[in-house]
Chain A
Amino acid sequence: MEENNHKPKKTGQRSQKSSMVQWIVSGIIILASIYLIIKTLPGGKNSEEKVQTITGLQEGDDFDKIENGIHLRTGLIDAPGRIETIGNCTTCHSSKLIIQNRMDKEHWAATIRWMQETQNLWDLGANEEIIINYLVTNYPPKKKGRRANLEGIEWYELRQ
């Protein structure tokens, strides 16, 4: 319980600073500062874990850095609807689940419906159309046929 008494105080102080910054700079910088604050707080054994090994971001990068059309933190394609998709979809699951999948409009919509019916996803309201358009535009199905060629082979000399 002592821990709980300390936490809001500490984060409260930090986020007050963040709120002031909010009026001066863009929200993107706020995200970056929250990231840095949380990252630098003492966190027991967690603080020793390597950070940033599975996203494209490097230490010190802007939290929402875009490179070659990819939003590095999430790996999502930077296109209209990305922000709504991150805000509504990555609360529960990783963006990696989105990026792996390719579906048409009907099936992206069906997947959202399944998450609403069984996985506690909320009503997306006006964002639903924005999100589905983002998904089907950037992650549409590709024809694979019954069996694809072997691809991405890394050739090497075999020594038996």
Chain B
Amino acid sequence: MHYQNMDRRKFVSKAALSAMASAIGAEIVYGSNLLKNYIPLALQDPDPFEMFHKDKQMVLLNDKPWNMEALAHLLDDKVTPNKYMFIRNNGLIPKDIKVNDWTLTIDGESVNQKKSYRLAELKSKFKQYTYQLTLECGGNGRSEFDPPTSGNQWTIGAVSCASWTGIRVRDLLEDVGIKPDAVYLGYHSADLHLSGDPGKEPISRGVPLAKAMQDETILAFQMNGADIPLVHGYPLRLIAAGWPASVSGKWIERLSVRNIVHDGEKMEGSSYRVPCHPVMPGDSVDDKDMCIIESMPVKSLITYPRTGAKIPRGQTLNIRGHAWAGELEVTKMEYSTDFSATWKECRIEKPVNRLAWQHFSAQIDFPKQGYYEIWAKATDAQGTAQPMLVPGWNPKGYLNNAAQRIALKVE
């Protein structure tokens, strides 16, 4: 049967589209784009929770491109399983990945010579490492900024800490041989631009060479001991934890060793950049005054109990959660039940490895009945703590690390 492997979108014929365009009264100037790419959403809606093996409690923010976040209580596991891992896409997920033909090419101004590796060769030639690594979207918390900033309105659930297995980027670059003028590593991926333009990359970001050379910066084949799920970057993903998760490129086909700061898609303008100096909320900021986000700020999540708990008076409440601080370690974890008037310390574990989130817990007794909020505050190794209010406004709403709050009633 010729139809067995066909994609439904291919059935949208030119005639059908012209009928559609006239029906909706839209101009036909973009007809050629439509012809190749347009599928009305209702025609292509599979169940994303089934398709990506996500829990039904996950929150779908966007279906083209696919973006989905967790709720705080879903992130209770020490190692985040796939079903609770947020999805962030800038473009369309690649199709028909032929893993046996998958090739990684290392190029750029600062390689001695361009070199390519088959996936199997990467796996057999280099030593493999496994780390638990925190990945948080740079825009996690965007929904709280005032004035609002554009993009997916993440609340608190665009963060995960899974176990990733792969080879060190450093080992790979040493095998390739790089020149002394190398400053940045940029990635190129197999995903497709939303407009369908094959000449455009949805996203091509990267990290300074020093970050690329860290022990924990890996090219991963596995997540939680199995092949990486397609939506999370199968078959090869760059993982550079502690930085905006957009530097951890998915579906990696090519790495470019640059002698300049990588200038790929979404490295410039307001994308994943914040004002170099603080600005007033709503200010417009020149491109030249925007700086690339590097390490993510200190942050924490209460993952138990779920917000909205009611407990009887006299009962001790156990709370727990995770804290992380970009490149740094979290050294202190506190909670408040009186809107930050007083703080008490939580127990906090050391990270399993650098760049893994850390687990905290506490027992709380409540003096009287009523409505409470539990606020959580982590402090990093440099003494910087989470703010209680939404921090510095920036044009794209990045880096909101304000303390998370859960509601509680003692009855």
Decide if A7 touches B61 in the complex (CB within 8 Å).
no
In this complex, the member of A14, A38, A114 whose beta carbon has the largest number of chain B beta carbons within 10 angstroms is: A38
Which one, B6, B23, B25, B310, contacts A155 given CB within 8 A? B310
The answer for the CA separation of A154 and B388 in the assembled complex, in Å, is 23
- Asked if residues A100 and B310 are in contact (CB atoms below 8 Å), the reply is no
Q: Which of B8, B30, B60, B318 contacts A38 (CB 8 A)?
A: B8
Whether a CB of chain A sits under 8 angstroms from the CB of B42 is yes
Are A7 and B5 touching (Cβ within 8 A)? no
Within 8 Å of chain B (Cβ to Cβ): is A102?
Answer: yes
B63 touches A84 (CB 8 A): no
Q: Closest CB of chain B to A24's CB: distance in Å?
A: 13
Contact partner, B19, options A22, A49, A51, A121, Cβ 8 Å: A22
- CB <8 Å contact, A122 and B407: no
Residues of A within 8 A of B382 (CB): none
Smallest CB-CB separation from B195: which chain A residue? A120
Complex: A157 Cα to B33 Cα, angstroms: 53
- Name B46's contact: one of A6, A46, A141 (CB within 8 Å): A46
Query: CA separation between A123 and B48, bound complex, in Å?
Result: 32
B27-A125 in contact (CB<8A): yes
Chain B interface size, as a band, is 35 or more
Give every chain B residue within 8 A of A114 (Cβ-Cβ).
269
Given the interface pairs A84-B25, A119-B194, the reply to whether A55 lies near B42 with Cβ below 8 Å is yes
Interface membership of chain B positions 3-32, coded 1 if the CB is closer than 8 angstroms to chain A and 0 otherwise: 111111011110110011111111101100
Q: How many residues of A contact B (CB 8 A)?
A: 86
Chain B at the A interface: mostly helix, strand, loop or mixed? Answer: loop
Q: Is B308 an interface residue (CB 8 A)?
A: yes
Asked whether any CB of chain A lies closer than 8 Å to the CB of B174, the reply is no
- A144 surroundings in chain B (CB, below 8 A): 144-146, 148
Q: Which residues of B contact A53 (CB under 8 A)?
A: 45-49
Q: How far is the CA of A83 from the CA of B27 in the complex (A)?
A: 11
Q: Which residue of B lies closest to A151 (CB)?
A: B407
Asked if residues B20 and A31 are in contact (CB atoms below 8 Å), the reply is yes
Specify the chain A residue showing the minimal Cβ separation from B391. Answer: A146
Q: Do the beta carbons of A3 and B34 come within 8 Å of each other? A: no
B147 at the A/B interface (Cβ < 8 Å)? yes
CB neighbours of B23 from chain A (8 A): 22, 26-28, 30-31
Chain B nearest Cβ from A1, distance in angstroms: 10
Contact, CB under 8 Å: A54 / B20: no
Which residues of A are found within 8 Å of B197, using beta-carbon distances? 120
Smallest CB separation, B149 vs chain A (Å):
8
Choose one: B1, B42, B200; the contact of A63 (CB below 8 Å).
B42
The complex places the Cα of A31 from the Cα of B25 at a distance, in Å, of 12
Contacts of B62 in A (CB 8 A): 93-94, 96-97, 100
| B29 engages A146 (CB within 8 Å) | no
Within A35-89, which residues are at the interface with B (CB < 8 Å)?
35, 37-39, 41-44, 46-47, 49-55, 57, 63, 73-74, 83-84, 86-88
Residues of A within 8 A of B389 (CB): 146-147
A91 touches B38 (CB 8 A): yes
Q: Bound complex: CA of A10 vs CA of B10, how far in Å?
A: 11
**Besides the known contacts A28-B23, A160-B318, 8 further A-B residue pairs in the complex with CB atoms under 8 A apart:** A2-B2, A3-B5, A3-B6, A11-B13, A31-B23, A51-B42, A125-B27, A146-B390
Residues of B near any A CB (own CB < 8 A): 1-8, 10-13, 15-16, 19-27, 29-30, 33-34, 37-38, 40-43, 45-51, 60-65, 144-148, 150-153, 193-195, 197, 200, 265, 269, 305-311, 315, 317-318, 373, 388-390, 402, 405-407, 409
**Which A residues are closer than 8 A to B by beta carbons?**
2-3, 6-8, 10-12, 14-16, 18-19, 22, 26-28, 30-31, 34-35, 37-39, 41-44, 46-47, 49-55, 57, 63, 73-74, 83-84, 86-88, 90-97, 100-104, 107, 111, 114, 118-123, 125, 127, 141-148, 150, 153-158, 160
List 18 A-B residue pairs with CB atoms under 8 Å apart, sorted by A's residue number: A6-B3, A14-B13, A27-B24, A31-B24, A37-B16, A42-B6, A43-B7, A51-B46, A83-B25, A84-B25, A86-B26, A87-B26, A101-B151, A120-B193, A122-B33, A156-B308, A158-B305, A160-B311
